[in-house]
Structure 1
Amino acid sequence: MKHFVVKKTWSNGVRVGALEVGNITATGGVVIETPALLISTRKGLPHFTPPDLLPSLPSPDSHFLQLSPLHFLEGLSPTTISKIGGLHKLIGLPDYAIAAVPRDSIHSIPESKSASKLGPTFETPCGRLLVKPKDYVQMISCMRPNIWATLADEVPAWVSDKRNRTSVDRTLRWLDDCLALNPAQGCKAIGSIFGAIVGGSNLDERKRCAEEVAKRNVAGYWIGGFGLGEAIDERSSLLRAIVDVLPDEKPRMICGLELPEEILQGIAAGIDLFDSTYIYSLTLGGFALTFSLDKNGNQDNFQKNKMGSDSTKINLRATVYRKDMSPIIKNCTCHTCQNYTKAYINHLFNVHEMLAQTLLEIHNTHHYLMFFRVIREAIQEGRFENYRQTFIESRREHYDRGVVCEVEGTRWLDKIVQFVLKCIGFGVN
């Protein structure tokens, strides 16, 4: 990471900035406007989108990739990656920034029960693995990402206060170990370090961890432990306890906030970088994002869902789309909507063609990146809070209307059933 600058901050802590990340080319770098979405990857590449279609995504918004070093515990060894020249040369994307984070909510899930003072434990496709700071830093040094987060002992929301204290103590110890193992600044440095902050649902432990990490010589902060069972109502106070003690001049990355409402909640607390495993989950399930990108946050023009989903997305596996010759979203500029129809994608799902996931991931990634653009514009113009409230209230009103329609539909269905039963001789009292 070369430089991070906060362009504008409002009194409530909401801010926009720019993160400049160097690449392996001789000159230049990647400048990412924040708040920003990091593209979730498997071994450095998106799960379904091939490299030749990456340029079709919004640029430079899509030029920030996130991966877990634990992905490479199967396949190529870190030593082989080092001989190739690092991850950028391995995947052939020298102009993209890469952030390495141990936790991956898809393939590398933290397992708090098996963690020890030696290191955290993860459930991976290779089985349950204990990762020690020395081994982790060695992997990082071979892969050479632009940014990497230190190890964290993440725990679910329901653990005891004692376990939370242990989690914070271990995370701070591993942070110091990673800092000690990191080569000196200069040509041998292995990227910018983001110190991990944990503490579960304990407000005091969250604050203590943030205060201690802020004392260390790190380039930014990675906030972990969210999305592990905490109530959405308590999340704002937890985030505020963390952010209030962190310096403003350093970026903040978080894992576990994925839904549109959760993204808005994180941005309201002053978070700069978010992961995108939500896109993978949607794509795998056959869902396409369709919520409105209205600059005021109004959701009155939601597409009418035909299969009872939650009004943010549609299920393209549903048979109702097999003859639908319209794009996913009429005015969407993504590669998928410009060239393919719902009927074609539905057909691809029916015949089990992987192209279905590819086209769907392109659309979902494009849509979420544009969502972040709309948010940044709202912050710049000083109307983020209005945008957030309108977005959430419109969603709630839409849900309420949907519930009323379902109830009314059920009543009419009951009347029809009663009428049919009477006609065939089965009277209903």
Structure 2
Amino acid sequence: MQRHTVSRIVPNAFAMTENVMPSALRFELHAKCSTTKARASTLHLPHGPVQLPTFMPVATQASLKGLTYDQLAATGCRLCLNNTYHLGLKPGQAVLDKVGGAHRLQGWKHNLLTDSGGFQMVSLLKLAKVTEEGVRFLSPHDGTPMLLTPEHSISLQNSIGSDIIMQLDDVIATTSPDRERMAQAMERSIRWLDRCIAAHKYPERQNLFCIIQGGLDLDLRRKCCEEMVKRNTPGIAIGGLSGGEAKDEYCKVVDTCTSLLPENKPRYVMGVGYPEDLVVSVALGADMFDCVWPTRTARFGNAITPHGVIQIRHASFAADFSPIQEGCQCPCCLPKEKGGLGITRAYVHHLASKETVGAHLLTLHNVHYQLSLMASVRQAILEDRFPQFLCKFFDDLYGDRRRAPDWAITALKGVGVDLLASTEEVSIDQRHAES
């Protein structure tokens, strides 16, 4: 099988089918890994291009905790998240309409993606009830009864002005044993998508993504994929995961869904952020990811490195004058003579317990690490050496890739990469896949 490479710009594929939803998105596929399902592409959005695969930092309330937007842009970030639920409460829709959207409110000149707001209402508020009409809940501020409908979710996101907006979906925990409720949520999400499409005011400048639901039931996922693909939205998300399910079950869902989704649209797996989850999910055919974990774990004194997460607050770092991560090009780790800050582990250890600047520095490093990881993944796909990249990634992370967790070994073997094989055997297997 020859390596599949697309060097030309693919015309907007949404114009190739009937009943097309207008789109402000162009998806340009550059290359596919000859062994796995990994893809390298460019997502052209109203506020500039985004190289895929990518990780999206989460700026919940129009702010990435600890960073200015100039610092975020300097990490290479070109697409980050805002939270519809929180922005709808404060500053509120009237302020967003008056200022002209969240880009102007926060001074961010690159792309934004907003969630629908429904997940927070179900996950954060105990007194929430989902009906066909929408999500009924009590305001966390004053206990006032409130209702979020698909129409209101889209209206809020239209006011926010995000480049990618998400449908309101019916979200339940993947660990729920109630298959009937799971099927109900999946079918309701399809109906709610139709209402979101009808309510969307600005499809020419905001891209509405559908969300595949169905829990861990692969038949429900297949049915949902079939129905959602018919709606022909500019992009497609796989939702309802990262809820405590076993990693092998997670991988089966992602693998099943990506196999059924169109090649000419971006695939977004929601709520995923651990480095090993990212690289395995790319191998399974996913393109976009988001998670609060890299920034949240920074506030607990944790730094992400190729060799695992290190707890800088530990006493062993008190006299460690090496950078947070050797060879890292983030402003914290880069030596002063190369234009960086030259921050040492000892200094961050000194700050991490009491001074907020410690969390700030670790946040900057962690976000840079995640984006740099995705850039390295992309380059490996473009150069058709992604299987070798995977082997080195797990060698670095676990000391020996044969110590990688069983779920990762199984998932990668399912797409042609055997972590238990020697490097020479992996290279031979890839050459056979190309021939």
**TM-score category, normalised to shorter length:** 0.7 to 0.9
Offset at residue 130 of structure 1 (A): 4.6
Query: Does structure 2 retain, via aligned residues, the 8 Å contact 1:109–1:122?
Result: no
Deviation readout 1:120-149 (Å, 9 max, x if unpaired): 478996589652112111101211110111
Match of 2:104 among 89, 109, 112: 89
The answer on 1:13 being equivalent to 2:37 is: yes
The answer on 1:255 being equivalent to 2:270 is: yes
The answer on 1:337 being equivalent to 2:333 is: yes
What is the distance in 2 between the residues matched to 1:40 and 1:52?
Answer: 15
Give TM-score, length-normalised by structure 1.
0.79
Match of 1:346 among 345, 349, 353: 349
Offset at residue 315 of structure 1 (A): 0.8
Partner SS, residue 280 of structure 2: helix
What is the distance in 2 between the residues matched to 1:122 and 1:232?
Answer: 31
Match of 1:170 among 184, 188, 208: 188
Query: Does structure 1 retain, via aligned residues, the 8 Å contact 2:118–2:169?
Result: no
Match of 1:51 among 52, 60, 69: 69
Match of 1:201 among 216, 238, 255: 216
Deviation readout 1:177-196 (Å, 9 max, x if unpaired): 1001112654xx5x011011
Give the corresponding residue for 1:423: none
What is the distance in 1 between the residues matched to 2:246 and 2:125?
Answer: 20
Partner SS, residue 75 of structure 1: helix
User: Structure 1 residues 173-182 or 43-52, which shifts more?
Assistant: 43-52
Give the corresponding residue for 1:298: none
Number of equivalences:
369
Give the corresponding residue for 1:98: 112
The runs of 5 or more residues in structure 1 that have no matched partner are 24-29, 292-301, 303-311, 402-429
Q: Which amino acid in structure 2 is aligned with residue 177 of structure 1?
A: R
Offset at residue 161 of structure 1 (A): 1.5
Offset at residue 211 of structure 1 (A): 0.8
Partner SS, residue 271 of structure 1: coil
Offset at residue 16 of structure 1 (A): 0.7
Give the corresponding residue for 2:365: 363
Deviation readout 1:300-352 (Å, 9 max, x if unpaired): xx4xxxxxxxxx021111222222222212322211123222222122223x2
Percentage of pairs with the same residue? 27
What is the distance in 1 between the residues matched to 2:62 and 2:362?
Answer: 19
The answer on 1:22 being equivalent to 2:24 is: no
Partner SS, residue 348 of structure 1: helix
Give the corresponding residue for 2:374: 372
Give the corresponding residue for 1:3: 26
Deviation readout 1:205-230 (Å, 9 max, x if unpaired): 11111110100031001211111122
Query: Does structure 2 retain, via aligned residues, the 8 Å contact 1:68–1:108?
Result: no
Compared CA separation, residues 110 and 205, structure 1 to 2 (3 A): farther
Q: Root-mean-square deviation (CA), in Å?
A: 2.7
Query: Does structure 2 retain, via aligned residues, the 8 Å contact 1:107–1:123?
Result: no
Query: Does structure 2 retain, via aligned residues, the 8 Å contact 1:287–1:315?
Result: yes
Partner SS, residue 281 of structure 2: helix
Deviation readout 1:42-78 (Å, 9 max, x if unpaired): 2222121123423432x3xx12111221111332111
Compared CA separation, residues 183 and 74, structure 1 to 2 (3 A): closer
- Higher-Rg structure is 1
Compared CA separation, residues 225 and 388, structure 1 to 2 (3 A): same
Give TM-score, length-normalised by structure 2.
0.78
